Structure 1
């Protein structure tokens, strides 16, 4: 019966901890981890609750906590021990379902056990004080009559409303109260429809699900006490996270943010930064900029280059919006943006994966509340910043760089790219020109050739035409490649000579060039004066026994490349022009077919 008494006390509930301005703690709380089960604004009520809990548990403590009175169990030596205890207590309905693990950082002086705080130390007797007088003849004491022990107070009997009574009390709820009820059900993961205040089959089903989760009979009709328990838990959880509507006027965004976990940091258009608060490991970035669909798509690609958006996770993009979920062992994030009326607006939420359960509710609150509240976007000139600084800092966000980037060139009309196998080995992700997601089609270890195809077909500006027949030794050649990998936005041309139609060791599949190249050029096309592709530049051997001069490079011949393309189902295009192109035309053709291939 005592278990039911304490459960009743717990179910009546009160908000846990609302966000309040920082306060200095009055004393250091014992080290360890706590299970916070309740918090009340009034000390007398909190002491009554603590007294009731102490009848069941032997480790009840009460602390002042930022103006509230928190009741907790503990301390526990480890977080795992506290979690195991909390799980057991919740499953047995011994504590409220919104009880949580606390490090005690907000706890200050004790109010329970009664008299523990502010208890004066016992003073030692003064050596100069005379001893108390002793009566010469003490009078015989008269025994006092024995008083009868008071009868124990009867335990309260829980009397629930009948379903009919519950329906009747439910009918008196205002529209705002019904919406809040749905919001509370949504908060605890039982309701997914619109918050319209209409209590229909969907709401009834979510009520039954909530009742089942809390060990109650799943009638689908909440009694007055159950509604109070649900709403109190919802309000307490919101107060703990400090969830509050924020209207960011400069960005034209309204959204609910966890103000107990993040605080405004700075503007750097198109971003509004909110930094982690009190070591929460949570960050929020609001996005607001003018633009069109290309701006939206560019933002989609850009965000995936940031350290706060891990490579693993689901991605989806439509014509008017996108969603990106990223996850690693140390960082998780959720990004959303939409295009409306010539404006791109959105947000990024970043957290530590160990806080998934709590942040899932924050994410739901942000997602359901996000909206554009004006026809203006963040002013790009709000914070003066040079173009060089903006490019280097990317508005204060750390940019993720590819592990390795090399060159490649288009070999068919759908965007398939020929490149070197070294750039696609062990990649979590492959991109073309840092924008287009790609997949590995095939690799050939004998030749060092790899074929990469975009996830969605592309329309290349230029598709390579392969040279037919032998080339002439001593003729001029050019290599088109991203010499400096992803540091430059376009490929460069390097010029040299075709020295020999075989390798230094007599390899018939290779050609030897007299030209200077950089590692980023590997995979790029070797062109003759007409713009025909004579071959593909190969990387230098990393651990070669002999170091070749800087002007000696090798390339895979077009005659060797063509059958490999055919084996992959790609019909190689044959070069038909023979006349030399003007330098600007050759450069335009080379740039149109050359691709930056990056491994992430």
Structure 2
């Protein structure tokens, strides 16, 4: 059957025809790969022309096994030999694009060879809709909004507002009102949405240096700046839209370094989404003047992506261009930049050629519960207009005790920390070794650090027994850091004195005072720890790193 189907396909179709083996003894005959929009367009065209089987559908290919045949690669007699040879070497030279997660294979396994022709049109539309990515759903919502039938949030969630808009669009265009778009209807809707781009003049930019092929407006000529791994295009003459190509050799480690370097660039407004996935990231931001979107993917030892920045007054064209760019971004051979050494990793933002947003100052804090609330030193924070944690999440002060120099922070969105502190009621002894977990270099190391110290006195220099004194070297970001004993139990909060850099005069607020403060503001006390066995520093560092937060103060964010 595979032989018959592929022999027929390879003679009547111009697309790349492949055969993949499947675990259950079947074979998948595949066309492509394409980007998601193109795949659905080809599916509809081929079905309409009756060139492919009526039960054909779009998949991301994740459940495919080895590729055993490609059109023109060898004869069908060779395929028959391979199908009976368990030791044969197969050609698996294929890749998928940025939108490869369009379908969830775990949900489509049972439908892989089901007869979709037997489904009613509404059922078929519901099936295909369930496989759409959030991005594609946002594109549909944007198109409905542009058509004047949708006025809710563009969030990729199909609620009652989206269903109502789809119904209105279907009635307006003489379709049956089902609230679910068929593939051909989606193609028509998106095509109409993107039409203004064609009127503005569109081209495909093929940048051999970066190894990227991507649609752009004709108003973009040649690059104006190349700062590996970023190439910048500026429109001319009147538009202020900018396009950025991202290209470098590297893997998921390099992707993470690039994400950390880019998330504080001034070209990306702070109010937006900054998300790092296993092999990709998305950075977006918006303020009263401009909006930006950046994305990159790690694949085949290369990191590639793009960015778009535009002034708010050019939303109409820019947001359509963003949809077009995401749907048709293509990686071709080549990459712009190779990482040279570890020092370059740490200072990548110096190579990007853009200004960085910098906080006024940074200090440390500690997660105290599953709702990601934080305790830290309050000095100066009450005068801070914008507070973030770990450079991304917005926080606010919800309680303070000026006498203890203690502040309680809460996130302005729902968060869940990796872990939170557990304290011991055991009082440390004079001369006992302790460790401070903090961000001494104000976040430049991208993780907390441990510093070893010694308990000197069970009260502060003024005799306040709510605190104790330690001997430990300190840096500006240490304030609000957590002190732990050698069993990894939390014992106090470091309170920095700006006028005191004497390592023997460092003050710590006892854990029991923090627990008492939490009770006074209506919260549960800190979780108790009964751990008594000593841990090595690596174990303490791992535990402390999960509960220590970087707190930053910004004039504008």
TM-score between the two structures when normalised by the length of structure 1? 0.51
The structural deviation recorded for 1:518 is 1.6
1:75-474 equivalences under 5 Å are: 238=200, 243-249=202-208, 251=210, 253-260=212-219, 263-268=222-227, 270-275=229-234, 277=236, 281-288=240-247, 303-313=262-272, 325-328=284-287, 332-337=290-295, 346-351=305-310, 353=311, 356-358=312-314, 360-372=316-328, 374=330, 376=332, 379=335, 381=337, 387-389=342-344, 391-413=348-370, 415-422=372-379, 424-425=381-382, 426-432=384-390, 434=391, 437-440=393-396, 442-446=398-402, 447-453=404-410, 455-460=413-418, 463-474=420-431
Aligned to 2:552: 598
Q: In 1, distance between residues paired with 2:278 and 2:537? A: 39
For the structure 1 residues 340 and 475, does the alpha-carbon distance in structure 2 shift closer, same or farther, using more than 3 Å as the test? closer
Q: In 2, distance between residues paired with 1:316 and 1:521? A: 27
- Computing the radius of gyration over CA atoms, which structure comes out larger, 1 or 2? 1
Unaligned runs of 5+ in 2: 1-142, 151-166, 174-194
Aligned to 2:467: 510
Q: In 2, distance between residues paired with 1:459 and 1:451? A: 15
The structure with the largest helix share of the pair is 2
Q: Tell me if the contact between 2:387 and 2:551 (Cα under 8 Å) persists in the aligned partners.
A: no
Q: Tell me if the contact between 1:409 and 1:593 (Cα under 8 Å) persists in the aligned partners.
A: yes
Question: Does residue 1:565 correspond to 2:518, yes or no?
Answer: yes
Question: Does residue 1:477 correspond to 2:437, yes or no?
Answer: no
Q: In 1, distance between residues paired with 2:299 and 2:344? A: 30
Q: In 2, distance between residues paired with 1:427 and 1:372? A: 41
The structural deviation recorded for 1:469 is 4.2
The structural deviation recorded for 1:485 is 1.1
Aligned to 2:485: 528
Deviations 1:415-470 (A, max 9, x none): 443222347543435122x4x5253363313222233456454452x542212043
For this pair of structures, how many residues does the alignment match? Answer: 369
Unaligned runs of 5+ in 1: 1-185, 194-199, 207-232
The structural deviation recorded for 1:306 is 1.1
For the structure 1 residues 368 and 492, does the alpha-carbon distance in structure 2 shift closer, same or farther, using more than 3 Å as the test? closer
Aligned to 2:128: none
Q: In 2, distance between residues paired with 1:274 and 1:385? A: 26
What is the DSSP-based 3-state SS (H/G/I as helix, E as strand, rest coil) of the residue aligned with 2:323? helix
The structural deviation recorded for 1:248 is 3.6
Question: Does residue 1:574 correspond to 2:537, yes or no?
Answer: no
Q: Which consecutive aligned stretches of 4+ in structure 1 deviate over 6 angstroms post-superposition?
A: 203-206, 233-237, 289-301, 314-323, 340-344
Q: In 2, distance between residues paired with 1:279 and 1:422? A: 48
What is the DSSP-based 3-state SS (H/G/I as helix, E as strand, rest coil) of the residue aligned with 1:563? helix
Q: In 2, distance between residues paired with 1:482 and 1:235? A: 48
Q: In 2, distance between residues paired with 1:296 and 1:569? A: 40
Q: In 2, distance between residues paired with 1:403 and 1:439? A: 16
The structural deviation recorded for 1:307 is 0.6
